[in-house]
Amino acid sequence: MPLLLSYSWRNLQERKLTNLLTATGMALVVFVYAAVLMLDSGLKQTLVATGEDTNVIFVRRSAEVEIQSLIDRRQARIIESQPEILIGDEGAPLVSKEVAVLIAQPRRKTKQASNLLIRGVGPAALAVRPQIRIAEGRMFRPGSNEIVIGRALAGRFEDVEIGSSLRFAQREWRIVGRFDAGGSGFDSEIWGDSEQLVQSFRRDFFSSITVRLADRSGFDALKARLEADPRLTIEAKRERIFYEEQSRLLSGFIQILGLTLSVMFSLGAVIGATITMYAAVASRMMEVGVLRALGFRRSRILIAFLVEALLLALIGWAVGILFASLMTQVKITTLNWTSLSELAFRFVLTPGIVLRSLVFALVMGFLGGFLPAVRAARMKIVDALRVA
């Protein structure tokens, strides 16, 4: 077997140009396949990281996103009085009564308007979500017209920078700080005082209420009790699950589109590998005849040519995944189809994607090399030597 493996490797070096073109085609397919998986992984990671298991978000029953939800003040008071909620250092329960609205703001480069999510939060918002910190400037003062922006918004929209002012809801809002939410979806939002935003948008209800539990195991009891309360029309979800569900629609589209493109491209790569391997068999008929005359079995000949095809696929995978890894430096923005607001995220390469792309490349190599390998293995010694 080592002799046959050496033989396969040597033959790859003999037909450099043809093998290079075949490996390049496979590398392109691996790149597209891995990039799609990385795009989907980045989207999910951004939205899943937005929530925490210790936090519970309450929205109106059947509301899929916060902008569809309405919770009046009477229901809000009942929710914030529950015993499972963690009490903060100031002796108050860690509850953030929030309002979510969309505004249109022109982009800095294209001047085209895009939706930005404005989130009104309560005084305990940073205590409820300790992963968020003020990276520059300061937090807005409660009861004022001050706002803070997420890290991902800086420089992408007109007038969205510290010291500037935004005009919406018939008021001027001064940006006094920038917060870092660790790459989560909050980084694409603007935060202000919820009571001020409720008044400015002439509402008398909140979009959602987020609470931090003293013990995460208390979620089931809290959910069962409040959802059965006839005074309430709310639904309780763990915060992480709530935001993860928002990724499903866009994630499903990315997977279907990406996998369709990958399958189409892979057909071309498999055909290319098949042609290359058929040419390799045709040019080495005498060698095959000699190997068979020396006593090498048909199965060994089959394996030798299959290994050659798999080595081609392995080279293509290595090149493709290398270029795909460079995409981790790219940040993209897109419209979250569920919340209708703009969301910024990065390509994320995981060990699972590396492994899946390797299997995908090897399958392409196997399919491309199988028929030529069978032809080589079934070749009769006399016929092979006669043709040569």
Count the residues in the chain.
Answer: 388
Task: Tell me what pLDDT residue 210 has.
Answer: 94
- Interatomic CA distance for residues 333 and 326, integer angstroms: 17
Structural domain spans, the chain = 1-48+246-386, 54-215
Residue of 130, 286, 99 lying closest to 195 (CA atoms): 99
Q: What phi and psi, each to the nearest 5 degrees, are found at residue 139?
A: -75, 150
Task: Tell me what pLDDT residue 338 has.
Answer: 66
In the numeric block, the tokens 């003293």 are attached to 214
Task: Tell me what pLDDT residue 106 has.
Answer: 84
The 3-state DSSP class for residue 206 equals: strand
| 144-166 exposure pattern, b = at least 16 Cβ within 10 A, e = fewer | ebbbbbbbbbbebbeebbeeeeb
The 3-state DSSP class for residue 85 equals: strand
In the numeric block, the tokens 């001020």 are attached to 196
Per the structure block, which two tokens stand in for 146?
């001050």
- Interatomic CA distance for residues 271 and 59, integer angstroms: 53
Contact between residue 235 and residue 59 where contact means Cβ atoms under 8 Å apart? yes
Per the structure block, which two tokens stand in for 78?
């009942």
Encode pLDDT of 58-90 as tens digits.
Answer: 999 888 788 888 899 999 999 999 999 999 888
Task: Tell me what pLDDT residue 74 has.
Answer: 93
Dihedral of alpha carbons 279, 280, 281, 283, sign: positive
Q: DSSP letter for 141, please.
A: P
Encode pLDDT of 191-242 as tens digits.
Answer: 999 999 988 888 889 999 999 999 988 899 999 999 999 999 999 999 888 8
Task: Tell me what pLDDT residue 193 has.
Answer: 94
Maximum Cα interatomic distance, the chain, rounded to a whole number of Å? 94
Q: DSSP letter for 140, please.
A: P
Give me the residues of the chain with pLDDT under 70, please. Answer: 1-5, 48-50, 337-340, 384-388
- Interatomic CA distance for residues 23 and 314, integer angstroms: 8
- Interatomic CA distance for residues 37 and 31, integer angstroms: 10
Q: What phi and psi, each to the nearest 5 degrees, are found at residue 19?
A: -65, -35
Task: Tell me what pLDDT residue 208 has.
Answer: 93
Task: Tell me what pLDDT residue 87 has.
Answer: 92
